[in-house]
Chain A
């Protein structure tokens, strides 16, 4: 972590003097920052391309995204229509057979990609946003606010998330948005902890002091100096948050909290379970949605691992 900070820090310190004088030249400043970021992203990408696991993960994720985008064209049937007899075994018309009311399972799995992916991304984005905000504020301001926020954070980290989610879900009721809210409210804490500790260490750095010394407001300091240095960490963590969100959504849907009108893979499995697919041996109903969940999660996990390898040079040493 330290090396990443120095890497970005070097840029900052070297530019600190120039930027101050060029601040008046506005446009030039923006452009310069653009090129700095672009260079950093370029470097990152170069390193990333070397890792086979990372490429595999990215490939998997992008494939799913492609499938979800092209769903209406790929899926042979409408996922909601009753297109055949119930409980048909796999055949050439229905690759994965039909479910208990005669809907094509294959199409449902294809369309399920959209929901699972969407909920995963939205929920994790909100989780990270909330967690980062709390972490930044807590770390930067310190004092009583920090104490209180950390106590709350500790509590949420300690309490088992699934039961908590279930309890919250029972209060809020079914629905995709409720699931997203539940995931966010219960999942923001690890990010907050991490961002806070990072902020704390950054707060002590010379460039933060320098920034304040030349009279920047707190908000400005946070935005310009702390955020860019926290960002790589949050990004790597973000991948894991997506994994958590996808699995949580699948779990909650499986237990019946999903929205039947927006069936994710978890929901397909919920229907499978209530139809007794396990005890009747309907593997075609059970295996595919699960494999999709597993692959998508693995995809993101690989991306996260590779990103971590790059952004955390200490790991490279080994």
Chain B
């Protein structure tokens, strides 16, 4: 197992290195004035502009710039934002927003996983039944819906027509809270819309994959053995089939986080949820490149690490790799 992990770790680091390099070049291939990346289209005073240009070495040859970039990177300096007038990018990213995104993404992924796995297992067992067909259709439908449209529909139905959920933000503006619970309640109330949207848009995928995986497992010989033993349906399904079927899902999970981030970005934008996804959108609209660069780096690190963790978890779950 150690060899496996070392190999995966080395691979992860190499990919990370590549990401860092890519980040550098991506923002320098822009058409037009190369200083745009760092200094932007904003009207910054010429002195500040000069300082920034010098700090990011834009007056230097490319390879020097690259060294400076790396230096800055390792010192945790991701540049300063345009739209927020000089606030360091790191403080913008690693703040409230990150937390909000984590909470939203984490809960929706968790919910979607639990629901998808359980229902997928049951649907596979009751193959071709009404339950199976209806859940498959439901999953295909939600999977085909664009996330942002689903969000809009939810706002329309539950926000406009039923008035039961707030349609924007993480909390009611101007309200003061007397205790933590009130605050949490308001927060969760605001999170309902984006949570439901995100969960719905992902549950279909997990469901279909799990169902597929279990159907695959059903063709394995050990399932016949389990049946021959005269075990109860539940035992066969949840003890023998599920454990094997969830293995491919774990590998898929890391990939899924990728799509989840995309979905979260959309959802946050539609619901004005104060998170990283929304930040990306705002930064794109305002052409705030330092933030985008910073996000690219943070995102790469996060995703590569997540993948590596998934590899580790998989190694623990599958005894065949363990030895």
Contacts and interface: CB of A to CB of B under 8 A. Distances in A.
- Direct interface between A and B, CB < 8 A: yes
B111 interface: no
A251 B156 contact: no
Interface residues of A, number: 48
A279 B160 contact: yes
A282 B266 CA distance: 21
Interface string B140-159: 11011111110011011001
Contact of B299 (A157, A160, A170, A290): A160
Interface stretch (B19-27, B52-60, B237-245): B19-27
A171 B27 CA distance: 7
Contacts of B15: 151, 154-155, 158
Interface stretch (B79-87, B173-181, B256-264): B256-264
Contacts of A172: 31
B143 A290 contact: no
Main secondary structure of the interface of B (DSSP, over half): helix
Interface string A240-279: 0001000100110011100000000010010011000011
Contacts of B11: 154
Contacts of A280: 160
A286 B154 CA distance: 11
Contact of B148 (A151, A152, A251): A251
Contacts of A233: none
Interface string B17-45: 01100100011011100000000000000
Interface stretch (A9-17, A93-101, A105-113, A292-300): A292-300
The CB with the most chain A CB atoms within 10 A, among B161, B260, B262, B295, is that of B262
Given A250-B146, A251-B266, A301-B143, A158 B281 contact: no
Contact of B280 (A163, A247, A295): A163
A166 B146 contact: no
A160 B149 contact: no
Main secondary structure of the interface of A (DSSP, over half): helix
The CB with the most chain B CB atoms within 10 A, among A163, A280, A290, is that of A163
Contacts of B260: 160
B303 interface: yes
Contacts of A254: 146, 148, 266
Interface residues of B, number: 61
A269 B219 contact: no
A158 B258 contact: yes
Interface in B84-141: 140-141
A185 B125 CA distance: 40
A163 B261 contact: yes
A158 B152 contact: no
B14 interface: yes
Given A155-B300, A158-B258, A301-B143, 10 more contacts: A160-B260, A169-B284, A251-B266, A273-B152, A273-B270, A278-B152, A278-B167, A286-B156, A294-B141, A298-B141
Interface of B: 11, 14-15, 18-19, 22, 26-27, 29-31, 140-141, 143-149, 152-153, 155-156, 159-161, 167, 215-216, 218-219, 254-255, 257-263, 265-266, 269-270, 277, 280-281, 283-285, 287, 289, 292, 295-296, 299-300, 303-304, 307
15 contacts: A155-B18, A155-B22, A158-B258, A162-B262, A167-B280, A170-B284, A170-B292, A172-B31, A247-B146, A269-B148, A278-B159, A280-B160, A286-B152, A287-B153, A290-B149
Which 4 residue pairs of A and B lie closest in terms of their CB atoms, listed nearest first? A162-B262, A290-B149, A160-B261, A297-B144
